[in-house]
Amino acid sequence: MIARRGGLGGPGGLDPLLVMGLLILLLAFFNGTLIGPVRNAGRDPTGFVFWIIAIVLGITVHEFMHAYAAHRLGDDTARLLGRLSLNPMAHLDPFGTLLLVLAGFGYGKPVPFNESRLRGSLAVSAVALAGPLANFALAALCAIPVRFGSAVAVGDLYDVLLRTIVFWNCILGLFNLVPIPPLDGANIVYGLLPPRQQFTWNTYRQYGPVLLLLLLVFASGFLGALVFGPAQQIYRYLVGG
């Protein structure tokens, strides 16, 4: 699983997703599932490298589009902090990246924005939606040579790399649409609510990481059906079966 740390959290205190990540690492260590993606590196080193490329590319494009959307809608907070960049180092969180490699769950740095500076009643939702839409757009773009490129032989390295990027960006886009804080879906819902309901939603936000952790640990099958099943359908549609 891949998550993006939310951009509406308050300053100070412990990062809830950092705490959740540590708990996942502890659970993975005690139940023997630690070193998930790394375990596959020995059997399929090329596939592991392609997976890293797909994830880094997906997180970079995802976070860049959050920053770009906020900039276009009137808030330059992310741009001033160097987040309006396609340099992966501007968006990768050290612990989130380590967690991704070790346990298969990770996150990128949050893209901060100032809600009061954004223009439009739906601006918060637009900024949140920009990241997942960028992943779907990247998946569609990389699927074009696979679906229509006669020069690409099925199974060669170029084909495998493109398919890996397509699949994992479908996963990244869909997972972040789940409306549980700190995922983008929660901010999308927040931006669509009237002010009074936004206050209520912010109260729920503090429990989001715990709920997400519980789903990952105790209801991974449900979460997998919610994300992986649709992602596989989108992938097949994009690459042509």
Q: Which residues are catalytic?
A: 63
State both tokens at 209: 């990481």
Cβ proximity of 54 and 164 under 8 Å: yes
Q: What share of the chain is helix, strand, coil (3-state, %, to 5)?
A: 70, 5, 25
Of 50, 73, 54, nearest in space to 62 by CA: 54
Based on its alpha-carbon atoms, the radius of gyration of the chain, rounded to whole angstroms, reads 18
Residue 211: closest CA among 179, 189, 176: 179
